[in-house]
Structure 1
């Protein structure tokens, strides 16, 4: 039968393929031994080799990373490697076929206490892909990640804090005293909504004047990663208002078509840390992130009356709901009407609220 009781009173189950020993485990009860043997026989009959699943998760994961390299983006490869470093020993040192959804859920809960929710979701997706490959390699039959979930975190996400037009001008003036070239970069980012990775990769040839002056955003270069497509995966056209058009023209002076449009005073590519140090961003930025310059452009456009669908195209948003966040930030016409009525109390014969001093 493959099950026997040893001298200690425990039950030993042994799986064989013909006469060849495949795997074995010892249990406290005969029922547990029978259940395990039944599962392993079913796996073996389905083409799953229990011996293959005896490799440690950390070793199998490292092998998977090597096989995966070159088939995904460099950024994805780096994120995958960070998952291996973040795996708790309780999972990393288990055999692949011993990992259950309970161990994975405990791992995810631990991550949720240390990382942002978006990071945990990305880590979980990587684990899902890893164990899916284990199924493909016939090491296991069920993905232990599929029944897990990422707990919702109570910590609020970072809110957008766009500059007003006056604030943006003041920030530019303050930075111009320290570094005129970087002040120009701030002004351009605040009026075009370019992501930082796009701002540091836009080329002179991407500036087009006919039929309307605009920047054609074809590429991005996140720091530490090679050139790639923009986040949306599509090319987009961003018009240039009169407030920045002369600046962009001056940026092209003496440069070739393939040269970087936005650079430091020495003509070098922008880097966030160096930028923040040179501009004293902790003070001049008024508590904003660099990404808030992108939010600033969207708000300026909408304030000027540009339609949300047009702003969606200029920003490269895949979903109009993303663009509508800025409308909620700016307030609606109903908000303006309500505020106007509140401000009219007691004016021009308007009724005063009860209890107001005469």
Structure 2
């Protein structure tokens, strides 16, 4: 065999796709497939107006998924994010409506205090989760599941299951339907949060600690990392982001709802796993999670345009999550084989 023949790369298109899969994960393949399928099913899918609509609808899931990524990075997950959305929505709406009813001229005071109250109420769920996981070493599954029940019960108790009305119309007009430079306000909020989290994860020492704790907890502790502080801050960050998403969604709905966010735990975990965040901890990229959340929003939008029933949409989402987990396991095997 000549030297030229020996120097040629092995394999054909299959090996090239395998290498691409190992490097990028399953998300690019799913994006291409979904765009092609839904473009064929609806001529309105790839229009600029619909793409902007997808971005706006995906904002809430994107923000929650960014928080869920922190939990997954440290080797846990948060099942209470849906409850946090509901509790922040209810408390924020009730506070806002109460202040606005007492002082109709103090519109922005009512909006500010309502948003602060809603975000604080949601963040308290994260504080409880953080204390349980970090200091009492409760399983993240059990801790967040228990707090999900507690928070949901509080939200229902406060409202009796009835939506909360009476908020200033400016709240919905600004944070629900408002635009800045032609871009919806919620997208700007998400962009600011993405930038802040990017700096935290990739430009600070504390950001590297999240990866270290999830990668090897004992090694992180032995290297002097404050593991309890990292775990506590993780669940506070998750809750704060979910609470912000809850207030934005409240502005969009123009009511405080105790029943919103029920599907958010599944969707946020699916967005992270599809984006390549490892369920074992220590692996994941923020920009990929943003794309993962947008992908789920794209699929939901495409199914709506294709007039697929909402019940079947839940089936599709669950199937995507299972597919992503299987793909992640196959990818890990490929990586291991390449190292050997």
Name the TM-score class by shorter chain.
under 0.3
Which structure: greater helix fraction?
Answer: 2
If you compute each CA radius of gyration, which structure gives the higher value, 1 or 2?
A: 1
TM-score (norm 1): 0.19
More strand by share: 1
Of structures 1 and 2, the one scoring higher in RCO (CA 8 A, sep 6+) is 2
TM-score (norm 2): 0.20
